[in-house]
Amino acid sequence: MSDSEQFASDNYSGVCPQAWAAMEQANRMDEPAYGEDSWTQRAADGLRSLFDTDCDVYFVFNGTAANSLALASIGQSFHSVICHELAHIETDECGGPEYASNGAKLLLGEGPDGKLTPASIEHLVTKRTDIHYPKPKALSLTQATEVGTVYTPEELKAIRAVADKHRLNIHMDGARFANAVAALDVHPSEITWKAGVDVLCFSGTKNGLALGEAVVFFNRDLAEDFEWRCKQAGQLASKMRYISAPWCGLLENDVWLANARHANACAARLEKGLAGLPGVSLRYPRQVNGVFVEMPEPVQAALRAKGWRFYNFIGDCARLMCSWSTSEAQVDRFLCDLRELVA
Ligand SMILES: *Cc1c(COP(=O)(O)O)cnc(C)c1O
């Protein structure tokens, strides 16, 4: 367990022991390259079994590539993708989706707590239908969202209904998909293909891997030639087993879910400890592994001076993010420091 004093990000964490052990095992002999190895087969089969459906699975290095390439496979350069204004694909991918798709435009929608509403989607699709405007073709949902909230299966189905009406494919940015499954306590299929999601970018990195995201196509027609897209984009790992073996470590015995549950529980412990502290309140409901906290700027500065690292890139509230490697003791130390400061 890490004892570094940070709630900055779940990608500050190290590699979880099970993923590390699988990598060590994969290192014992030579194996075919470019994903032709036994580990990649096992990891892909493991994901098919996890989702209980015959999906197409690809592994890439990071989330920006996963999202950008998945979105590029959904539409043409003259199409558009509807996403929330706070979506990572809009705010944090340096135009990656537009670049990978040769120019598909992101259309920014709204909704409380980082979630797109059916009404906002409907508005964006219907406000322009002329030839001078890029045609909406896809919808991108982040599950869990950038502000630590989740779409319920019912909300996803309501969105799917709008998507069906306007023939939009649904992409899911699952950087924290595991945390959403843990929080909702649902089978992973309930918030993906059973809710009409066409393609999911499932993050291993934020769950406990060194690197590696799975792009999971439930709509297999969209996956046509995807391996060429990955290769051209420089996202085909030649020693693929070093991405896929750690995935096997996460999938076996549902380590991915245990990691997510632990991270969520640490955030819940933080939330509980923050309750009632003077001048301290939550900006968004705490549903997964992040707590978004409003507190006076001098208090934030004093926490930083004590060595605590955290971001405040959304509004100016502090984002406290937990991971598989966060310890309860670390949460308690933070709360202890904060209590002293606001007392
Ligand atoms: C971390 C994250 C990603 C992936 O980011 P990379 O740095 O490209 O791996 C994608 N979406 C969301 C919401 C994220 O938080």
| Tens digits of residue pLDDT in 161-171 | 999 999 999 99
Same domain, 49 and 189: yes
Residue given tokens 């045609």 in the structure block: 135
Select from 253, 286, 315 the last residue of a domain. Answer: 253
| pLDDT tens column, 88-116 | 999 999 999 999 999 999 999 999 999 99
Site to probe by mutation for ligand 1, drawn from 81, 86, 88, 91 as the one with most ligand atoms within 8 Å of Cβ, is 88
Select from 253, 284, 310 the last residue of a domain. Answer: 253
Same domain, 248 and 261: no
Determine, yes or no, domain membership for 211.
yes
Determine, yes or no, domain membership for 224.
yes
Q: How would you write 111-152 as a 3-class SS string?
A: CHHHCCCHHHHHHHHHCCCCCCCCEEEEEEEECCCCCCCCCC
Residue nearest to atom 9 of ligand 1 (CA): 63
Same domain, 243 and 269: no
Residue 77 sits in a domain of what CATH number? 3.40.640.10
Q: Dihedral through CA 191, CA 261, CA 341, CA 343, nearest 10?
A: 90
pLDDT value for 313: 79
Max CA distance (Å), the chain: 61
H helices present in 166-307, as ranges: 177-184, 226-232, 241-251, 255-274, 297-305
Structural domain including 335 reads: 255-342
Select from 236, 253, 270 the last residue of a domain. Answer: 253
pLDDT value for 314: 80
| pLDDT tens column, 22-34 | 999 999 999 999 9
pLDDT value for 2: 41
Residues of the chain with pLDDT under 50: 1-3
Same domain, 174 and 223: yes
Query: Helix (H) and strand (E) counts for the chain?
Result: 13, 10
Total structural domains within the chain: 2
Residue nearest to atom 15 of ligand 1 (CA): 175
pTM of the model: 0.97
Same domain, 182 and 296: no
Same domain, 147 and 177: yes
Determine, yes or no, domain membership for 138.
yes
pLDDT value for 4: 54
